[in-house]
Amino acid sequence: MAGIGDPPYRRLCRRGGAAMVCAEMVSANALHYNDERSRRMLATFPDEHPISLQVFGNDPDRLAAAARAAADAGADVVDLNCGCPVPKITKSGGGISLMRDESLFARCVSAMVKAVRVPVTVKMRLGFRGEDNQAIRFAQVAETEGATAVAVHARSREDRHQGAPQLDELRRVVNAVRIPVFGNGGVQTYDDARAMMDKGGVAGVLVGQAAIGNPFLFMEFLAREKGRAEPISLRQRFDLFREHLSMIVEYYGETVGVRRLRKYIPSYVKGLPGSAPFRGRVNLLNKKDEVLDALSEFQNSLI
Ligand SMILES: Cc1cc2nc3c(=O)[nH]c(=O)nc-3n(C[C@H](O)[C@H](O)[C@H](O)COP(=O)(O)O)c2cc1C
């Protein structure tokens, strides 16, 4: 997830039991123009494999070059973003815009597949409006062009992030191809994930927002799968917060790291008494030690 899935967060998710992590989407055009920030976004760490690096764009040659750059940077899988509805991405023809042009989509997938030895996958939405299911056709094209798997956010562009995922439509995509189809969208709990696997018939599930501030969600899911219920304790949650702080400061330096941690804080403290003033306080802090002190004080106030 853009702005979220950076190396520290991904490493936490792997430690938390995620089978694979996905990086923030990177622009193939920006890589073409040697944008330093985009190059840095391809960085991977030894303790986060297997990792999928995702690229977006609509120029087959640039996407092929971006896929090569991602593979050289250590990607175990290279993914093409065909689901992002954000205007900044779609107005340049990337993200879900690629689902408007089957022939261009085919050329993009094919160019990426030919460019790298690692598997190429595609992440898409069901379509543009509630009743559309263009994903059926686009998954078939992806398969024909050599994609190893597809992931489908089981909502339309119109739905954005609202409403339940359309599991029947997901099942129709699964039935239309031989390659594995992964499901995504609105999975918050183990039961949601199980329902997506059972009703949608998918090979696996991608979890986004529910894992923010709770990267150990994956371990909870795995425990439930084995018939055990092990919800993360308050203490584990605070320890995780501290670990995230250390990792993010180590990666970005203190000033940027502490600032970047702010977007994860609401999830870490969601539902706890006094979380709003705590958030307000921490959002004004710039030093790691100050955040640690505030955190200990808040944790003690809950005992
Ligand atoms: C802040 C944010 C950033 C996202 N960035 C990406 C991205 O870079 N690539 C991508 O494929 N999807 C991205 N998504 C979409 C998610 O991967 C996912 O498809 C969507 O949030 C639905 O899944 P969820 O309900 O589990 O969060 C992003 C979503 C959010 C909220």
- The predicted-structure confidence for 129-188, as pLDDT tens digits, reads as follows 977 899 999 999 999 999 999 999 999 998 888 889 999 999 999 999 999 999 999 999
**Pseudo-torsion of CA 241, 246, 248, 252, nearest 10°?**
160
- Residues 133 and 188 placed together within one structural domain of the fold: yes
Identify the CA nearest to 89 among candidates 55, 119, 136.
55
- Residues 110 and 257 placed together within one structural domain of the fold: no
- Residues 33 and 164 placed together within one structural domain of the fold: yes
Locate the ligand 1 atom nearest the alpha carbon of residue 161 and give its number.
22
- Residues 59 and 146 placed together within one structural domain of the fold: yes
CB atoms within 10 A of CB 1: 15
- Residues 285 and 177 placed together within one structural domain of the fold: no
Catalytic residue positions, numbered: 84
Looking up residue 276, the CATH number of its domain turns out to be 1.10.1200.80
**CA distances to 88, 167, 260, 264, 298 from 7, in Å:** 23, 31, 12, 14, 27
pLDDT tier at 50, thresholds 50, 70, 90:
very high
Overall domain count for the chain: 2
pLDDT reading at 303 higher than 90: no
Predicted confidence at residue 159, as pLDDT, reads: 85
Predicted confidence at residue 230, as pLDDT, reads: 74
First to last CA, the chain: 34
Name beta bridge partners: 226. none
Q: Whose CA is nearest to atom 12 of ligand 1?
A: 1
Looking up residue 119, the CATH number of its domain turns out to be 3.20.20.70
Locate the ligand 1 atom nearest the alpha carbon of residue 187 and give its number.
26
Identify the CA nearest to 30 among candidates 18, 22, 42, 19.
42
- Residues 200 and 238 placed together within one structural domain of the fold: no
- What is the Å distance from ligand 1's center to 55 Cα? 14
Cβ-based neighbours of 249, under 8 Å, separated by 6 or more: 257, 258, 288
- Structural domain span for residue 267: 234-301
Mean residue pLDDT across the chain = 95
- Residue-wise pLDDT tens digits, 268-298: 999 999 999 999 999 999 999 999 999 999 9
